[in-house]
Amino acid sequence: MIPLELPRSSGMKPIHFTILTGAIALLTVLYIGVLAARWSGAWRGDMYWTPDLTGLHMQVGNVELLVEGNLMRTPAQRLTQTLTQATGGSRMDKLELSTLWPSMTGAAPADRRQFDGFRKGSNLIEIDILAETGQETMRDQLEPVYRRLARGQETKGPAGLKVLTLSSPVALMLDQVMFEPGEASDYIARCRTPKGQPAVCERELRTDGLVVRYRFERGLLANWGRLDRKVLALIKDMAA
């Protein structure tokens, strides 16, 4: 018969356990309060955006960038880079930015509603910058993947683009690929429209060792050529 043995005491005093439990409960209440404030609209852009124009040193892959604080989309990245500013910043897997079309400027008090209104009819562009890894582009996948998945033939889209619909008529989300016809062009964007919500498109660019993915509401597709040029110019200015 195997003898049973009670587990040994952790050595923690009861008062310490009480304090730990109370701290966890307090953090839980604070977290729920923050979420409730966000959902109710009582606490909005200040949680994410800052009007600070101070340049922060970033490194994505092997590319060094100088980014204004008001362009950075997450407070965690701003805090991390501020703390490491003295050592020139730290290498990041992904840099998350947001800017307004067509000015390509960062957050400002007068633009708070725009920065809080993505997917709600705003001119906000969300930009993710990653290191280039040599993967296939969306354009590379047009013929072997998207055309095979398409439901029917291509149709006319905005500003001279063509449209391939990937989703079925009964799907909960409309999934479409917009592209410029012709072998000389590499323009392609994927747009998804959940029921009852605005369509959001994603475009991917490659430049100087970086992958730049940016998202925008479908209404901006009428300016797709200018969008590409302005996003690239913004990234190049950071690397200058």
For residue range 62-90, what is the model confidence (pLDDT) as tens digits?
999 999 988 988 776 666 655 555 445 56
Query: What amino acid occupies position 101?
Result: W
Looking at the structure, tell me whether residues 110 and 209 fall in a common domain. yes
Is the pLDDT at 112 greater than 70, yes or no?
A: no
What pLDDT does 204 receive? Answer: 97
Looking at the structure, tell me whether residues 32 and 111 fall in a common domain. no
Q: Quickly count: other Cβ atoms within 10 Å of residue 128's Cβ.
A: 17
Looking at the structure, tell me whether residues 34 and 49 fall in a common domain. no
> How many domains does the chain divide into?
2
Looking at the structure, tell me whether residues 33 and 75 fall in a common domain. no
Is the pLDDT at 227 greater than 60, yes or no?
A: yes
**Token couple for 180:** 């410029």
pLDDT tens by residue, 10-47: 666 777 778 878 888 888 887 786 666 555 444 444 44
| CB of 210 closer than 8 Å to CB of 60 | yes
Q: DSSP letters along 78-92, please?
A: HHHHHHTGGGT--EE
> Is 187 part of any domain?
no
Looking at the structure, tell me whether residues 22 and 91 fall in a common domain. no
| Lowest-confidence segment of 16-20, 133-137, 140-144, 198-202 by average pLDDT | 16-20
Q: Which residue from 73, 84, 77 is spatially nearest to 50, judged by alpha carbons? A: 73
Looking at the structure, tell me whether residues 21 and 133 fall in a common domain. no
Looking at the structure, tell me whether residues 96 and 202 fall in a common domain. yes
Looking at the structure, tell me whether residues 22 and 130 fall in a common domain. no
Residues 6+ apart with CB under 8 A from 29: none
| CB of 157 closer than 8 Å to CB of 180 | no
Looking at the structure, tell me whether residues 223 and 108 fall in a common domain. yes
Q: Which domain holds residue 56?
A: 45-137+193-239
pLDDT tens by residue, 142-195: 999 999 999 999 999 999 999 999 999 999 999 999 999 998 889 999 999 998
> Is 148 part of any domain?
no
- The angle subtended at Cα 19 by Cα 14 and Cα 20, nearest 5°, is 95
